[in-house]
Amino acid sequence: MDTPHPLPNLPTDLPADSTIVVTGPTGYVGGRLVPILLDEGYKVRCIARAPRKLDDREWRSIDRVSVEQSDLSDIDTLTQILQGATAAYYLIHSMEATGEDYAARDRQLASNFAQAAKAAGVERIIYLGGLGEADSLLSEHLSSRREVEEILGSTGVPVTVFRAAMIIGSGSVSFEILRYLVERLPIMITPSWVMTESQPVAIADVLHWLVRALQTPDTAGKVLEIGGADIFSYNKLMKIMAQELKLPKRIIIPVPVLTPRLSSGWISLITPVSYRIARPLADGLRNKVVVTNNLTQELMPHNAMGVREAISKALARTESGDIQTRWSVAGPIPGDPDWAGGTTFTDERTITIDAPPNHVFKAICRIGGGHGWYAADILWKLRGWMDTLVGGPGLRRGRRDQERVEFGETLDFWRVIGIEHDKSLTLRAEMKLPGVAILDFNIKPSESPNHPSTQTHMTMTARFRPKGILGILYWYSVYPFHGIVFKGMLKGIKRSAESQCCEPKE
């Protein structure tokens, strides 16, 4: 687990059993912060837009954890949720959820949270923002982070602001971009920002300081810059990544003509990151992001990792599949209102499997990522490549774990929007489509008296709600391939489930 060492017992005015609120617990940082706070003895109250995303987290059943549903849009509801909390972590960023409107959305959510925190009597807000020199022309992305800092403190609640550059850790968006670029491009023609200096920080060190701040009252009302032990250009970071991946030397050619728009398009084509996320990130790469003062070390001394150690540990986690949280799980989950109404095309297929429901469910949950889709993988890859060309995620996102599936998780260009263990799994397509596509798996034990517990009926249903004539044409153009793709998937799931029954027990 990418977590810091246990914190020392420090003199503090914050009781260990205080209630701490964590917003963004389904996100990359928040999902790792919650278990550390629990290990420190705090009560943790999570605020999540989609609480079901947390159902399979190991810490969810701990009695010191509570989860409240809120998208931060209603101040009165938010005030009630924050009642009795000593401190609150604000780890919300709307870039994934709202695309180009993220800055306005972030301002509104921060204002709502600040007002609610004041009304509820919260003693401190802790916020994680971005580094960037104040006298430079900050990108829209970094400027938005600064606006959020100011808004959070506008009602008088003391705010501890952490500013970090690239966060290196298994599953982080910055790490994924860096890794995919280096893995897939032996020769890179890059923008001039490749020579910009950055001070990356390991996720373990970020978590250390975030928790340590609770036990250090002097951090209240301070702006704390955090970074790792090294300051390198992005050019150097790519070379170190290649070395740690044991790849041949990468040739990097910086040119001045590549704009942020072209850079982000290139990033979205080569990496799992969509254009709407890549654009503001690429725009921000022109800013030098290094620590400019020593205040963090004065208040909370800590030996942070260097870049090579951080990358090595992140790669080891990625290779082993031990990725605690992943950037792609964050974001909204479409609900029923987006799906209801209109013409819907349906393709339903059923198969009988000589295996109990739990084995069938396990086989279904293996789809996507490195395991593939049981059949016609070349067609899936072709569809993923086509999606990538038009700015979609394609198959590049893979999956977080090769066996386990959680609510809200991404499986290539699908997202889990419904899961009931040993009974059903529902996926919604996030590829570029002229409509809305749902893939649903339902499992029912056989009602036959001859096979009361060892035979299962599985029904796979593809639903598509077209948008206009293009959507209708799309459905009829891909429908002939369903016989190959879906029949093959059913047979593959059947083989996988039945083979589990034949495996020798240890």
Band the pLDDT of 93: cuts 50, 70, 90: confident
- Identify whether residues 252 and 167 lie together within a single domain: yes
- Identify whether residues 275 and 260 lie together within a single domain: yes
- Identify whether residues 172 and 305 lie together within a single domain: yes
Final residue belonging to a domain, choices 328, 344, 368: 328
Q: What is the pLDDT of residue 58?
A: 85
Final residue belonging to a domain, choices 328, 354, 380: 328
Q: Answer yes or no: is 2 within a domain.
A: no
Q: Which two tokens stand for residue 375?
A: 């059949």
Q: Where are the alpha helices (DSSP H) in 160-222?
A: 173-184, 203-212
Residue 328 scores a pLDDT above 60: no
Q: Answer yes or no: is 392 within a domain.
A: yes
Bridge partners (DSSP) listed for residue 89: 22, 126
The percent of residues in the chain predicted with pLDDT above 90, rounded, is 34
Give the domain CATH number at 391.
Answer: 3.30.530.20
Q: What is the pLDDT of residue 277?
A: 55
Residue 10 scores a pLDDT above 50: no
Residue 504 scores a pLDDT above 60: no
SS3 at position 23: strand
Final residue belonging to a domain, choices 301, 328, 355: 328
Q: Answer yes or no: is 210 within a domain.
A: yes
Residue 25 scores a pLDDT above 60: yes
The Cα 406–Cα 283 span in angstroms is: 32
Q: Which two tokens stand for residue 246?
A: 């044991």
The Cα 360–Cα 342 span in angstroms is: 32
* Count: domains in the chain: 2
How many Cβ atoms from other residues are within 10 Å of residue 171's Cβ? 23
From residue 57, give the alpha-carbon distance in Å to each of 41, 51, 408: 18, 11, 12
Residue 94 scores a pLDDT above 60: yes
Residue 83 scores a pLDDT above 90: yes
Q: What is the mean pLDDT of residues 23-29?
A: 89
From residue 68, give the alpha-carbon distance in Å to each of 83, 239, 355, 427, 473: 12, 44, 38, 24, 43
Residue 122 scores a pLDDT above 90: yes
- Identify whether residues 246 and 339 lie together within a single domain: no
The Cα 366–Cα 368 span in angstroms is: 7
Least confident of 59-68, 101-110, 210-219, 252-261: 252-261
Q: Answer yes or no: is 505 within a domain.
A: no
Q: What is the mean pLDDT of residues 238-266?
A: 76
- Identify whether residues 254 and 340 lie together within a single domain: no
Residue with tokens 């395991």: 371
Q: Residue 470 sits in which domain range?
A: 333-499
Q: What is the pLDDT of residue 133?
A: 66
The Cα 135–Cα 360 span in angstroms is: 59
- Identify whether residues 312 and 377 lie together within a single domain: no
The percent of residues in the chain predicted with pLDDT above 70, rounded, is 78
Smallest Cα–Cα separation from 124: which of 163, 153, 91? 153
Q: Answer yes or no: is 13 within a domain.
A: no
Determine contact, residues 264/283, Cβ cutoff 8 Å.
Answer: yes
Sheet with 345-353, side-by-side order of all strands:
345-353, 456-466, 435-445, 424-429, 414-420, 410-411
How many Cβ atoms from other residues are within 10 Å of residue 390's Cβ? 10
- Identify whether residues 364 and 317 lie together within a single domain: no
Q: Is 444 exposed, middle or buried (0-12, 13-18, 19+ CB in 10 A)?
A: middle
Residue 348 scores a pLDDT above 50: yes
**What is the chain's mean pLDDT, rounded?**
80
Per-residue HEC secondary structure of 241-267 comes to HHHHCCCCCCEEEECCCCCHHHHHHHH
Tell me: the pLDDT tens digits for 179-196? 877 877 788 777 777 788
- Identify whether residues 271 and 347 lie together within a single domain: no
Q: What is the mean pLDDT of residues 170-176?
A: 77
Q: Answer yes or no: is 14 within a domain.
A: no
Q: Identify the top-confidence range among 44-48, 382-386, 465-469.
A: 44-48
Smallest Cα–Cα separation from 396: which of 327, 334, 448? 327
Give the domain CATH number at 31.
Answer: 3.40.50.720
Residue 212 scores a pLDDT above 90: yes
Band the pLDDT of 291: cuts 50, 70, 90: very high
Q: Answer yes or no: is 58 within a domain.
A: yes
- Identify whether residues 321 and 344 lie together within a single domain: no
Residue 495 scores a pLDDT above 70: yes
CA atoms within 13 A on the CB side of 423: 4
Tell me: the pLDDT tens digits for 428-455? 888 888 888 899 999 998 766 555 567 8
- Identify whether residues 29 and 97 lie together within a single domain: yes
Residue 126 scores a pLDDT above 90: yes
Q: What is the pLDDT of residue 351?
A: 92
Bridge partners (DSSP) listed for residue 448: none
- Identify whether residues 337 and 315 lie together within a single domain: no
Band the pLDDT of 80: cuts 50, 70, 90: very high
- Identify whether residues 387 and 297 lie together within a single domain: no
Is residue 275 within a helix (H) or strand (E), and if so which, with residue range?
A: helix 275-284
Q: Answer yes or no: is 12 within a domain.
A: no
